Amino acid sequence: MLLRPGDRLDQFEVIRSLGHGAFADTWLARDTGTAESVVLKVPSPALLSDLDTAVRFRREGTIARRLQHPGLQSIARSTPPRGAHYLALEYFEGRTLRDWLIEQNRPVSPIESISIGVQLADALAYLHVHGVVHRDLKPENILLLDDGSVKLIDFGSALLKGARRLTFRIRGEAAGTPDYMAPEQIQGHRGDPRTDIYSLGVVLYELVSGAVPFGGDNANAVMYQHVHNEPVQPSVSRAGIPQRLDEIVLKCLRKRPEDRYQHAAELKHDLEQINRSPQSEPAARHDHPISLWRARLARHLRERS
C-alpha cells in the first residue's frame, strides 16, 4: 500500500514516514476523531498474498493486543476497522537505541547500560510469562525516550506459545538479525525465553564495550562465531566496567540455553544488585532501582544531547 503525507487510511491521516522495512512500512498518523498520534504498520501487499506472511502479521496484531506493560509497544487506543490489513500501534516521542548510539559515538556508561538492561529484562519477563518470545531484540527495535525509559517494539518475528510453526518461504526458518541471534536460532530452532536473554546479552555487550561480540565480512561469518566462538570479556575492550557486569553479560551469552539465565527476572535481579551498596544515598535507597536508574539515565541523556 503506497501512502503519502496527507493520505487517509480509514480514520487515520498520514503525517510522515517513520521507516521502510523489508516486510512493512511504518507511518506516523493522526486519528482524526481523537487527535491521537499513532504508528501505522502497513505490510507489503505482495507479502500479504503469501499465506505464512499474512498469518505472521495477524499474529503480530494478536500479540500486540495482549501486551499491557510500560516497556512494550501495544495496540493504540484508536484501532482500525475489523479485518483491516494494517496495525495502529502506540506512538512514543523518542529515538531508537541504534540512532542514539550513532549520535553518541561512544560506549555507554555502566549506569546507563544497567538502566537500559534492567528495563528490558523487566519487559522480557512480562513477555515470557505471557507466552511470547520476541526473537529479534536489537537496538533498532528499542526506543529510548527522553525521560530515560525504554520501549521494546516490533513483534514481527515474535513467537506465541501454542502457535503453529510457519514455513517462512520468503525469509527461511531463522528469524532474527545475525549480530544478535542466539546459536539455537541460527541452527533453525524456534527459540524460547532464553533466546531473548542471549540477544539482550549481545545488546548489553555492545552498550558497555562499543561493539557487538562477533564481527565479520558477511552474515554467515557472524553466525558461525555465535555458534562456535567464545566472546572476550567486555572489559577487555574498555576499562571501568564492573567485574559483576562482565560476568552477567557473559552468562547471557553462553552457547547452551541451559547455561544462561533461565528467566529474565533472574537477569533483572542481578543487574539491580550491581548498584546496591552501603554507600548509596539514604533517600535513593528507598527508590525502586528502575526509577532511580531511569532518572540517572535521563540526566545523562540531557547532559550529552
Q: Which residues are tagged catalytic?
A: 136
Please name the amino acid found at residue 120. Answer: L
For residue 249, the tally of other CB atoms under 10 A from its CB is: 28
Nearest to 154 by CA among 9, 14, 24, 294: 24
Rounded Cα distance between 231 and 259, Å, is: 15
